[in-house]
Structure 1
């Protein structure tokens, strides 16, 4: 089990390292000057040159890459005598790093929190911006996956019980339609229908957040209705997947010998379904739920932007529009870490439950 865990941790590290390197390379290939975006298009060349020096953009690309990896790594090499080094910036933002040992040329090896640098536009630490918006994305993904799980399992059980009936075919068509609709199109369609056309009946808003300040600025109020439309949009695709997985898994379980024995003993059909068959049919559904929750945390960009939900995806789109490179990289790395951690936990759970996974 230990070797299995070490191997999965190594693969997780490779994924995060690959994502970090790929994002850095892509932003160096995209045409544009972040320094000019920060100062404005009408600024003079001397100011642009000074800004490029301040942002470290005057260095060769390979030096920028090494410095970038040094900043985002929890183990870094720094020169304490350099007041402009990222260890100095780390001290201001996170507290004093832990010095692990001395190296040549007055450099030290330190353990610290990853330094994601500062936003070009707001000049705030990227970690502060990310942590302030990440809870909104988490709440949205949680509500969406709960909706998809509860409704999807119920629809899958209904479709399996009434196999080949009108209800079965209708539920399968609905699940296939939910999987086929792109998230951005579903968001526009659902927002237009329930917030604009039927808005006076539903009372739902096209835009808004979970917590909002009232018009007089006197307090923050919970606006739970604002999460309904984005959560409904985000949950459509996993709803379709869970419905079909639940149906096929339950039908397969109902064909097993022990289910036939339970029926032959005269047990009520409802008891056979919910006490014996359902529990053994949930394994593929649970696997799908864990994967989809990680995907939701990583793929809510369009949904958040259309509904103006101030989450990680909304911030990422605005950062792309303003060419705020540190903020975009920070958001992408955060998403990659969340996705990798969830997948790692699922892999570890597989290894605990099924020894054949560790052997393989």
Structure 2
């Protein structure tokens, strides 16, 4: 909670001190002074920074305080807050509500929570598919590399994984889209751009397009794949030097059984650590990949919001990504307890 509170505070002050008038961003260039004043009063932009900060915390808090005055920013409007009033004392109501991420500057007052709910599932599907590819393929090649230590196969895998870590995702995205969807498009039947759901030719019905997931998922998974290979190889080599592995060999167990029943589980700790960080990073790092492939996810929405200075979209998206980081780290701590009971006991 303290981490999330710190993120909220940094995000608010970072974007509040940016040059420009939020009211003018909302109205565009054909505004009058009266319209500007009305918008500033409606959204609390005419208040001191400290008051605006308290408004922002109040908007995000599940338990919040609201004025009974209609012209006040914190007036308990059902269309705005989706809240349940608990009780009212001296003109102030205490309410229970879902966190309010405010409204977009550029989407005709569309709620930021609505925008995120429409785009985040696509980003989650993309990130989950990419990390699954990285995990399965990376563990497989990491094991092979460890078992074939210092052979030509091991060295080839190491070189390719180093290249994979070195190439930026946006460059890989352009290269893959050009080669596999344009040059080889006649054979692969892949699209250079496209999202998980697309409208039919009549614009009436959405169709699931899983083939549009292939290229962006592979591109997004290349860098974590390279990391998993390196970590799995090094960790497995270390585990194979332990006494209990020598005992298993002395008992006559085959190497596949030793790997599967004894070595793999203990070698996965550093891999799980890396995967947890990479999965959370993908929710933010998918920005360029989504934009290049035209994937309608949160990353593409952030780029569009940056281009139009839609600050509520940017702030809300960063908050959601930060929350995902925190939840994933908690989940990884639980996984550690399953992988290594000694960690759970401490």
Indicate the larger mover: 165-174 or 78-87.
78-87
Give me the whole-angstrom Cα distance separating, in 1, the residues matched to 2:186 and 2:28: 43
Partner residue, 2:5: 17
Q: Deviations over 1:290-345 (max 9, x none)?
A: 22222212321111111111111111111121111211111111111111111122
Tell whether the 8 Å contact from 2:55 to 2:74 is kept in structure 1 after alignment.
no
Give me the whole-angstrom Cα distance separating, in 1, the residues matched to 2:262 and 2:145: 18
Higher relative contact order by CA 8 Å / sep ≥ 6: 1 or 2? 1
TM-fit CA distance, 1:355: 5.4
Partner residue, 2:285: 299
TM-fit CA distance, 1:357: 6.6
Q: CA 1:31 to 1:95, structure 2 compared with 1: closer, same or farther past 3 Å? A: closer
Partner residue, 1:127: 113
SS of the residue aligned with 1:78?
strand
User: What do you get for the CA RMSD once the two structures are aligned?
Assistant: 2.1
Length-normalised TM-score, structure 2: 0.92
Q: CA 1:314 to 1:285, structure 2 compared with 1: closer, same or farther past 3 Å? A: same
TM-fit CA distance, 1:177: 1.3
Matched, 1:97 2:84: yes
TM-fit CA distance, 1:83: 5.9
Matched, 1:242 2:253: no
Length-normalised TM-score, structure 1: 0.88
Give me the whole-angstrom Cα distance separating, in 2, the residues matched to 1:54 and 1:85: 6
Indicate the larger mover: 80-89 or 229-238.
80-89
TM-fit CA distance, 1:106: 1.9
Match of 1:321 among 300, 303, 307: 307
Q: Which stretches in structure 1 are left out of the alignment for 5+ residues?
A: 1-12
Partner residue, 1:6: none
Give me the whole-angstrom Cα distance separating, in 2, the residues matched to 1:188 and 1:154: 27
TM-fit CA distance, 1:234: 0.9
Matched, 1:285 2:255: no
Give the number of aligned pairs: 344
TM-fit CA distance, 1:18: 1.4
TM-fit CA distance, 1:94: 5.8
Partner residue, 1:70: 58
Give me the whole-angstrom Cα distance separating, in 2, the residues matched to 1:240 and 1:281: 16
Matched, 1:60 2:48: yes
TM-fit CA distance, 1:40: 1.9
Give me the whole-angstrom Cα distance separating, in 2, the residues matched to 1:299 and 1:73: 27
